A and B are shown apart, each in its own frame.
Chain A
């Protein structure tokens, strides 16, 4: 059971990540103003959608075998793309980044995606159906990486490949940083939960005494309630 749970987590998170990149690419396709790039991002989004579908399928295969209680925890709903941080609540990357940074981001992340799939490949085994599909996906990511590189150098011919390397190093570090940050957050969370609970307990004790009868609108004209009241 433990094994299934850890696998569920991996496929759950990966499916999120792939669907998020599909949406990022689709957004880029809608925001860019050259038909060639519209097409490029469109095809990239289509690949990512297909990747996401494959991972959802792998997730579902494992979900079926898990206990109902466990399975319920790994049920996907789209808004978690935002709450889990796969898509920023500030907007899509193409909205918030400079184009140059965006292309460089794609360039480096495709490679990082590929390397993270290597681990999943070990998990499911090279020769299985799933393994074959993951190998295909890895090839896609490598192709995306190559395209982004070409795109970047076409767009900014003055930039040298070593500058892209710089981007890549920066992104790799920040990615590692993100993981450490994430681990720290989880640790802090565990540490702080009792404190939060204690605070919630106190606040709850106060809330118990709240008299919400004032909110009663019986017989009142709803159009006459003050417009600036948040109560």
Chain B
């Protein structure tokens, strides 16, 4: 058995791969600690891997950490040291927290899981991203991997050629501190949204902006691609992320674009500042699409590949994938369901597996979209008092519960789901979701505002079967895998009914989900389609600011804290009392 682990700098997680190259289990620490974006050493995740799968430390052959800790540390220090004294607070912070950085992961293993520390190995950060994406591709050979994130352990973007899983050659990198990911985060921060959380809001806000506006053009000019050196270039004086612990952008950016936004003031359409902010977001999105195009073109040029793996935080920018798919040399783009750093535990675990089976026949199976093991707890017994006091059980039988839920959806209700195993990535795909009829405007509005308090700039995702999606949206076969995990948006077909769906964005796009065969949503849609409902609006089951629900207790809690009334669970269909 092999374990992969991430943590410290970004969200932490742990994954388990068995001796046959199968991803058996995966947990994000935030799911278990309920602390959104938890970056602490993933002790709960590792413990759960061991407990749920009934394995002991001696059954673990190797554990891999997803990056090279000292490398990450030194690159930040080196860059900051070039800008003393301005960077002194950052340097002081780095040195003082040395023992809390990933450098201490060996010690944390020794402290929490005695014996595992001696099995610890390290993978390169971007290699972990590549190895997270690779298993999701049908062919594991001759494919180009593009990784773009904020910062790994050396670089902020890279291109490698995957000859086979044992030979992955790096051919290009963008060295720190120039970073497309950190640029996007800085704009997120400038617009008053939280870094690592608010990026999708910027992406949604961009659709309201005008590419030809002054603000958009100014932002668009902050970075560029140099055609002679094939490098990303950036005027770093607009940013402070490499110099400061608290500021991601500099006062010069405020001189350029106007004052940053107060994070406590909600940005609402119609506000005086709304258009300026939307234009700034548009500029950031335009620049991202432009640079992604350049990087992919360069990747094709140096590898000759027409098939691509795409991972790292920037690949979560689902609104830019559709234009990548239209590049003339692209045959296929694979984005893993958890392309950010928390997914890297999967790549790190596969790294162990490949290293241990270097000369034998490698079998890397395509992981499920729902890799977490089902809870072994006796939920029925443990939650009996919560349920008997706060809920009524409408239906216990599985099929009848689904049927009943379908009827409620038809009647315009919103349903929460806590079914089977949990999703890999940040997007709920039906097992930990809030769902309703996607064409019912009232129901979707109810889901977004009354229950979810969702940001108004990005509509809820519509989920459907493939043959239905074809009727409404311009699907691109090059990215068909991405649609399964909501990894890419697509355009509504021209003059199509879908332009009017409440799940369609102002720019006529939707972040669709094509449901996996035999998944919970597939089963539900099979019942709903004859009733005339072929698309479900799908959002994650959580109160905003919290991680997506993980277990039944979390689901019951969301129901108790919000106006959500129905919960479809493995114990049956529940209705909240009062």
Chain A residues at the B interface, C-beta cutoff of 8 Å: 23, 26-27, 29-30, 33, 35-36, 38-39, 42, 45-46, 49-50, 59-60, 63-64, 66, 68, 71-73, 75, 77-79, 81-82, 87, 89, 91, 193, 196-197, 199-201, 203-205, 207-208, 210, 212, 215-223, 225, 227-231
Instruction: Say yes or no: A23 contacts B385, CB within 8 Å.
Output: no
Within 8 A of A (CB), among B66-81: 68-71, 74-75, 77-78, 80-81
- In the docked arrangement, what's the CA distance between A215 and B551, Å? 42
The residue of chain A having its C-beta at the shortest distance from the C-beta of B189 within the complex is A72
- Rounded to whole Å, the gap between the CB of B6 and the closest CB of chain A is 14
Tell me which residues across on chain B come within 8 A of A35, comparing CB atoms: 381-386
Given A68-B261, A223-B166, A230-B68, is A204 in contact with B87 using a C-beta cutoff of 8 Å?
yes
- In the docked arrangement, what's the CA distance between A72 and B122, Å? 36
- B95 CB within 8 Å of chain A: yes
Instruction: Say yes or no: A208 contacts B81, CB within 8 Å.
Output: yes
- In the docked arrangement, what's the CA distance between A227 and B85, Å? 36
User: Can you list 12 pairs linking A and B with CB atoms under 8 Å apart?
Assistant: A71-B264, A77-B194, A79-B37, A89-B40, A196-B92, A196-B95, A197-B88, A204-B77, A204-B87, A216-B173, A218-B173, A227-B123
Instruction: Say yes or no: B84 contacts A36, CB within 8 Å.
Output: no
- B121 CB within 8 Å of chain A: yes
Instruction: Say yes or no: A64 contacts B264, CB within 8 Å.
Output: yes
Tell me which residues across on chain B come within 8 A of A203, comparing CB atoms: 77, 81, 91, 95
Given A208-B82, A229-B68, A231-B70, is A217 in contact with B91 using a C-beta cutoff of 8 Å?
no
Among B43, B95, B130, the most chain A Cβ lie within 10 Å of the Cβ of B95
Partner of A42, one of B68, B386, B543, B551: B386
- B531 CB within 8 Å of chain A: no
- B394 CB within 8 Å of chain A: no
The residue of chain A having its C-beta at the shortest distance from the C-beta of B382 within the complex is A38
Given A78-B36, A82-B35, is A217 in contact with B154 using a C-beta cutoff of 8 Å?
yes
Instruction: Say yes or no: B553 contacts A30, CB within 8 Å.
Output: yes
The residue of chain A having its C-beta at the shortest distance from the C-beta of B247 within the complex is A72
Instruction: Say yes or no: B170 contacts A219, CB within 8 Å.
Output: yes
- In the docked arrangement, what's the CA distance between A119 and B415, Å? 42
Chain B residues at the A interface, C-beta cutoff of 8 Å: 30, 33-41, 43-44, 64, 68-71, 74-75, 77-78, 80-82, 84-85, 87-89, 91-92, 94-96, 103, 121-124, 126-127, 130, 154, 160, 165-173, 194, 197, 246, 259-265, 354-355, 381-386, 389, 543, 545, 551, 553-554, 556-557, 560-561
The residue of chain A having its C-beta at the shortest distance from the C-beta of B264 within the complex is A63
Tell me which residues across on chain B come within 8 A of A59, comparing CB atoms: 264
Instruction: Say yes or no: B88 contacts A200, CB within 8 Å.
Output: yes
Partner of A230, one of B88, B122, B173, B384: B122
Partner of B160, one of A36, A205, A212, A222: A222
Q: A38-B386, A201-B85 are in contact. List 11 more A-B contacts (CB 8 A).
A: A45-B557, A46-B561, A200-B92, A201-B88, A203-B81, A208-B82, A212-B154, A217-B170, A219-B170, A223-B168, A230-B68
Tell me which residues across on chain A come within 8 A of B355, comparing CB atoms: 223, 227
- Rounded to whole Å, the gap between the CB of B333 and the closest CB of chain A is 21
- Rounded to whole Å, the gap between the CB of B503 and the closest CB of chain A is 28
Tell me which residues across on chain A come within 8 A of B34, comparing CB atoms: 23, 26-27
- In the docked arrangement, what's the CA distance between A229 and B153, Å? 13
- Rounded to whole Å, the gap between the CB of A46 and the closest CB of chain B is 5
- In the docked arrangement, what's the CA distance between A8 and B350, Å? 46
- In the docked arrangement, what's the CA distance between A87 and B43, Å? 14
Tell me which residues across on chain A come within 8 A of B545, comparing CB atoms: 78
- Rounded to whole Å, the gap between the CB of A122 and the closest CB of chain B is 24
- In the docked arrangement, what's the CA distance between A68 and B260, Å? 7
The residue of chain B having its C-beta at the shortest distance from the C-beta of A60 within the complex is B264
Tell me which residues across on chain A come within 8 A of B75, comparing CB atoms: 212, 215
Among A59, A64, A71, A223, the most chain B Cβ lie within 10 Å of the Cβ of A223
Partner of A221, one of B44, B169, B385: B169
Partner of B38, one of A50, A82, A220: A82
- In the docked arrangement, what's the CA distance between A164 and B554, Å? 32
Tell me which residues across on chain B come within 8 A of A29, comparing CB atoms: 553
Instruction: Say yes or no: A231 contacts B71, CB within 8 Å.
Output: yes
- In the docked arrangement, what's the CA distance between A87 and B77, Å? 29
